[in-house]
Amino acid sequence: MLIRITHRPSGELIAEGPSGWGITSFEGNYYIGRRYLKTAGFKINYIPGLCIYKFLYVWMDYSWDGGRTRSLGWLYWLPNPLFPFIWFRVGIPRDHPELQFELIPADDAVAVDE
């Protein structure tokens, strides 16, 4: 199964890749491996955060030609070693209204140019 994540206001493809290690679903969020991140729009905004068991992260803004969404994602820069699937990956909420998620059977997937 492939996961395709699109930013609704800009229509830009944010990520596309296999569910599992490529794009991991955990606690109602998706953690995207760098290989499957299809945009350069995420920029660290240096607002720190702390999760008691996942440790330290920074928030990330998403910018596109028409604007910016503040704190759309986050990045664990000092992650818990017990959770390798969140290490240095962009995390995004599954229920954000500006994001569209599609689950695509691997047989129906069409390659996206990088």
Domain ranges of the chain: 2-108
Q: Please tell us whether the domain made up of 2-108 is placed in CATH 2.40.128.20.
A: no
90 pLDDT exceeds 60?
Answer: yes
pLDDT given for residue 95 in this prediction: 95
pLDDT given for residue 114 in this prediction: 42
The set of residues, in sequence order, having a beta carbon less than 8 Å from that of 1 and lying 6+ positions away, is 18, 19, 103, 104, 105, 106
The set of residues, in sequence order, having a beta carbon less than 8 Å from that of 102 and lying 6+ positions away, is 3, 4, 5, 6
pTM: 0.90
67 pLDDT exceeds 60?
Answer: yes
